[in-house]
């Protein structure tokens, strides 16, 4: 009994072990099988079905989304495949319709919200955004957006002015004159007499009042005074702050403070520019005069 019983138990346990193993391994095998089946199937069946599928795809406006359509075509055959492709085609045409109406989430915002969102962008970003599409171009050219950017980048002053060509143009004009004004100080730092000669308008009415208190009138006298200053002075390190520009069509003036060193007070300066032949020229420079306080006479600066 024991002899006949034991093998049956052994067989039973062996059978159950086999069943358990099959049950455990079957999903794994199926997974591995399907993994190997996909590329194999697409390689083999693709040429056979491609002609028909190609025609279907060409008939629908889905050719712009080839990736999705191709994988759907290769993974499915028969009715199931047809249904899936229909779904893909429906999705594609939905996307196409959305693209045609140009309705992205950003563009569906209320204009006030868009303007607010744009107020967080800086100057290059706003310019880049305006190049994306017509709706964004309209939003990025919004007058209030540029007024906000002007206030952020330059000054809160001039809140009440109404620029004739809008705030975007005014922003650009202000940025241009700021760059010209920066160039003035770069010329002083590099002591370039030729550059300073080109920077001034060649006219008899230009005037320059240096920090020394000396006053020069007329192009030749003004230019000579800079030549003397560049030859005479040693290197001065200075910082320019509180730069404010007001730009009209062909005239602009800039006020600023120039700190030669931290201890002494600032030189208060004004530059006046005129627009001639497509560029800005300096016609007037006025620096406040350093007062000889406490025998500290070494702080004088031309400029």
Ligand X SMILES: *[C@@H]1O[C@H](CO)[C@@H](O)[C@H](O)[C@H]1NC(C)=O
Strands (E) in 221-266, as ranges, are: 239-248, 251-259
DSSP one-letter string for 161-195: ---TTHHHHHHHHHHHHHHHHHHHHHHHHHT-HHH
Within 8 A by CB and 6+ apart from 218, the residues are 204, 205, 206
Any alpha helices (H) in the chain, and if so which ranges? 2-59, 66-75, 78-101, 111-118, 123-129, 134-140, 143-153, 166-190, 193-199, 219-232
Task: Report in angstroms how near the CB of residue 266 gets to ligand X at its nearest.
Answer: 5
When binding is defined by CB under 6 A, the residue of 93, 115, 288, 299 that contacts ligand X is 288
Q: In what order do the strands lie in the sheet with 207-209?
A: 215-217, 207-209, 279-287, 267-276, 251-259, 239-248
Note whether 270 binds ligand X by CB under 6 A: no
- Choose the stretch contacting ligand X; rule: CB under 6 A; options: 71-79, 141-149, 260-268, 278-286: 260-268
Instruction: Read off φ and ψ for residue 287, nearest 5 degrees.
Output: -110, 140
Note whether 259 binds ligand X by CB under 6 A: no
Task: Report in angstroms how near the CB of residue 264 gets to ligand X at its nearest.
Answer: 8
Note whether 302 binds ligand X by CB under 6 A: no
- Choose the stretch contacting ligand X; rule: CB under 6 A; options: 24-32, 58-66, 130-138, 263-271: 263-271
Note whether 265 binds ligand X by CB under 6 A: yes
* Residue with smaller CB distance to ligand X, 218 or 266: 266
- Choose the stretch contacting ligand X; rule: CB under 6 A; options: 48-56, 65-73, 176-184, 261-269: 261-269
* Residue with smaller CB distance to ligand X, 144 or 288: 288
Note whether 111 binds ligand X by CB under 6 A: no
Task: Report in angstroms how near the CB of residue 290 gets to ligand X at its nearest.
Answer: 5
CA distance 82 to 78: 6
Task: Report in angstroms how near the CB of residue 300 gets to ligand X at its nearest.
Answer: 10
List of residues contacting ligand X (CB under 6 A): 265-268, 288, 290
């Amino acid at each position: 009994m024991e002899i006949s019983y034991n093998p049956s138990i052994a067989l039973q346990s062996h059978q159950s072990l086999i069943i358990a193993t099959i049950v455990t391994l079957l999903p794994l095998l199926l997974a591995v099988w399907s993994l190997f089946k996909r590329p194999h199937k697409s390689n083999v069946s693709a040429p056979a079905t491609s002609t028909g599928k190609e025609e279907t795809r060409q008939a629908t406006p889905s050719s712009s989304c080839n990736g999705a359509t191709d994988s759907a075509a290769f993974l499915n055959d028969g009715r199931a495949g047809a249904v899936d492709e229909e779904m893909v085609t429906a999705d594609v045409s939905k996307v196409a319709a959305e693209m045609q109406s140009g309705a992205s989430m950003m563009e569906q915002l209320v204009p006030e919200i868009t303007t607010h969102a744009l107020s967080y962008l800086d100057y290059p970003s706003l310019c880049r955004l305006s190049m994306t599409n017509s709706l964004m171009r309209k939003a990025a050219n919004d007058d209030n957006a540029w007024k906000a950017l002007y206030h952020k980048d330059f000054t809160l002053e001039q809140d009440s002015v109404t620029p004739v060509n809008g705030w975007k143009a005014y922003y650009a004009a202000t940025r241009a004159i700021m760059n010209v004004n920066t160039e003035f100080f770069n010329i002083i730092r590099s002591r370039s007499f030729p550059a300073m000669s080109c920077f001034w308008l060649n006219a008899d009415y230009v005037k320059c009042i240096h920090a020394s208190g000396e006053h020069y009138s007329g192009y030749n006298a003004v230019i000579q005074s800079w030549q003397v200053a560049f030859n005479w002075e040693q290197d001065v390190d200075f910082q320019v702050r509180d730069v404010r520009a007001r730009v009209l069509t062909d005239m602009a003036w800039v006020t600023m403070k120039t700190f030669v060193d931290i201890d002494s007070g600032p030189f208060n300066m004004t530059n006046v520019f005129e627009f001639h032949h497509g560029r800005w020229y300096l016609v007037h420079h006025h620096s406040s005069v350093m007062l000889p306080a406490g025998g500290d006479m070494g702080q004088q600066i031309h400029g």
